[in-house]
Structure 1
Amino acid sequence: MNRILLVRTSAIGDLVFASPFVAALRRRYPDAHIAWLVEPGLDGLLAADPCIDELILWPKAEWKRLWRERRLAELRRAVRAFAATLKARDFDTAIDMQSLFKSGWLAWLSGAPRRIGLGSREGSRWLMTEVVPAGGTPGQISSEYRHLARHLGLDTDHFLPRLAVADDNTRKARALLAEHGLAPRRYAVFAPFTTRPQKHWSEDGWQALARRVREEFGLAAVILGGPSEREAARRIALAAPGAVALAGATSLPEAAALVAQAGLVIGVDTGLTHMGSAFGTPTVALFGSTRPYLDAGRPDARVIWLGLACSPCRRRPSCGGSHDCLHDIHPGRVMDEARTVLAHQAQRRGHHKEKAA
């Protein structure tokens, strides 16, 4: 493999889970040109990764707009132009890590003679030259990508999510913290929001947790999220002294920088929470209707999942909206896990100091 295209266009959490694959690929092929095809707006999460030579942005939103407006001639020209830019890069291998028809079609559009799909679905297998059956260790973070890496003969030692932050985003994050009287490691990132309500914990729980995290650990809660979550973040922050609502106030890479510099991350099944593990920040993840993993691969990252008979239901809840799988998680349980992950990190730092001495 000399010129490799990776196709995993979205979403944030899935990009985090896929991140160790590109590092394994780079170790095996140190001189290869490795490109990653991703949607605009998410590229900032990958931009500082030293294992990636090029990010190619798939203008999905623009194509959808042309389709809605029935500007089909323009859409055809846009697709042809994009295909030409891919083919001009002369990829010899395209790896579809998303397994959907759209991602398989993009891999095919690249013109790469070797196209590898992971558990290809929705008919995308017909666009591949090779299909790696879906597999992996259930409950282990990034397991499916580890499975793919092993199939391709890559090194899977230390196969854990890993992210990098550019220096300018770190500076912006620190400036934002300073505006609110906060310093690195002296705050806890809260990630309460997702696109699906059945993945949400209660606001009362977040408010109680923000107070307890401040009282016991001396960490101010910093609530992150998107622009549509500003009001909910503000309500959580108002209930806890020192809490700061920054939902909608950062770019994606700036939010990542805040996660990287936090003293603790607590969140539901959302990309910001998974970033905590990728940066080695002590992390507690709350899962209910979904269960992407139970083993985060790190002693300073823990998962709370009650294991109710109806869970995981994913997109088809049968509880009538009560979402007991999450609402029955009490702040005291979260605090117990937070103590555990913080103790593990303190132990690790002590070990590093002993080695340095």
Structure 2
Amino acid sequence: MILVLRALGVGDLAASVPAIRGLRAAFRGDTLALAAPAWLTPLIDLIGAVDRVVPVDGLASVVRTSPAPEIALNLHGRGPESHRLLQAAQPAKLWAFANAEARHLDGPAWDPGEHEVRRWCRLVNHYGVATDPGDLTLAVPEVRVPAGVTIIHPGAKSPSRRWPAGRYAAVARRLHADGHRVMITGSPAEHDLAAQVAAGAGLPAGAAVSTTLGELAALVARARLLISGDTGIAHLATAYGTPSVVLFGPMSPVRWGPPPDRPQHRAIWHGTRSEPGDALGAGVHPALLAVSPEEVLAESASALPG
């Protein structure tokens, strides 16, 4: 059995797809188990490479598998906590970035400025597994959702990555006036934010929606356009080739953005360097505040086919 750790969120999982598929191709006869949050299972199923989900809740979890894995692959981080979590599963081999604190020295060195997709491809390449960093496509869920909508997703995990609701509303209002069928999406916890944007834009009743993960993936796959911050749904647009405009704040698109050779995906960033995590705390990041509705509308027009 091959055990892979990626106990993070939607965007993190999407960025690890090429590495996971490379591993699947290299070990076709082995069971491939992915240690990840159980709520990600509908998305994991769309990768088409994972045989088993081992539910974990962050690095405080205990990963139990039977038998012990032949290889444990750390696609979670640089260690030592994530390394130790996998070491506790007693694998015959640990594939991971070098970390002296975890007493793991045979892996490659960590590069903090590396794009997230290429980082994990480079890790498995180090151990002799071939990957294709462009292999990001996910299967489309068989869920009935509207097609051809323009999605605006105002939420993000941290406040520093949330563009102001009033600016999203201004963009939604203009697109609606131009004939777009605009939907404002969010998780159940983000419903009030989605409703605020929809109301501010003067959208019809029902324009603000909460979705399951499968519904969200299906909606993005069939959408006309996505506008969002630097969060998981932007990676779904990349996976499905859906035109997108992604607004970056603390993090540079060089690290987390869509592939630069795909003109239908537009990244807007007015920063000069990536912050470590969301280091600036509760406020919206200055690079994000520098983005105007007019700029987003211009990039939206450029992202759509002529």
Counterpart for residue 207 of structure 2: 244
CA distance in 2, matches of 1:131, 1:287: 31
Question: In the alignment, does 2:265 pair up with 1:293?
Answer: no
Question: In the alignment, does 2:167 pair up with 1:205?
Answer: yes
Question: In the alignment, does 2:132 pair up with 1:157?
Answer: yes
For 1:189, the aligned partner's letter is I
Instruction: Judge conservation of contact 1:191–1:273 (CA < 8 Å) in 2.
Output: no
Cα deviation digits, residues 241-298 of structure 1 (max 9, x gap) = 347111xx32222222211221111111111122111121111110012223345242
CA distance in 2, matches of 1:250, 1:274: 17
Instruction: Judge conservation of contact 2:161–2:284 (CA < 8 Å) in 1.
Output: no
CA distance in 2, matches of 1:265, 1:282: 6
Q: 1:264 to 1:120 in 2, by over 3 A?
A: farther
CA distance in 2, matches of 1:89, 1:42: 24
Instruction: Judge conservation of contact 1:43–1:57 (CA < 8 Å) in 2.
Output: no
Alignment TM-score, normalising by the size of structure 2: 0.87
Structure 1 regions of 5+ residues with no counterpart? 65-78, 175-182, 347-357
For 1:302, the aligned partner's letter is R
How far residue 324 of structure 1 moved from its aligned partner, in angstroms, is: 2.9
In the TM superposition, 1:186-265 aligns within 5 A as 187-216=149-178, 218-238=179-199, 239-242=201-204, 244-246=207-209, 249-265=210-226
Q: 1:201 to 1:110 in 2, by over 3 A?
A: same
CA distance in 1, matches of 2:214, 2:195: 22
Question: In the alignment, does 2:234 pair up with 1:273?
Answer: yes
Counterpart for residue 117 of structure 1: 96
Counterpart for residue 74 of structure 1: none
Instruction: Judge conservation of contact 1:116–1:132 (CA < 8 Å) in 2.
Output: no
Identity, % of aligned pairs? 26
Question: In the alignment, does 2:86 pair up with 1:107?
Answer: yes
Counterpart for residue 31 of structure 1: 29
The Cα RMSD (Å) is 2.7
Alignment TM-score, normalising by the size of structure 1: 0.75
Question: In the alignment, does 2:257 pair up with 1:305?
Answer: no
Instruction: Judge conservation of contact 2:72–2:93 (CA < 8 Å) in 1.
Output: yes
Counterpart for residue 41 of structure 2: 43
Counterpart for residue 67 of structure 2: 89
Match of 1:131 among 100, 107, 114: 107
Q: 1:287 to 1:120 in 2, by over 3 A?
A: farther
Q: 1:31 to 1:219 in 2, by over 3 A?
A: farther
How far residue 101 of structure 1 moved from its aligned partner, in angstroms, is: 3.8
CA distance in 1, matches of 2:38, 2:243: 29
How far residue 148 of structure 1 moved from its aligned partner, in angstroms, is: 1.4
Identify the range of structure 1 (141-150 vs 197-206) with the bigger mean alpha-carbon deviation: 141-150
Counterpart for residue 280 of structure 2: 317
| Higher-RCO chain (CA-CA 8 Å, sequence separation at least 6) | 2
Greater Rg, structure 1 or structure 2? 1
How far residue 160 of structure 1 moved from its aligned partner, in angstroms, is: 4.1
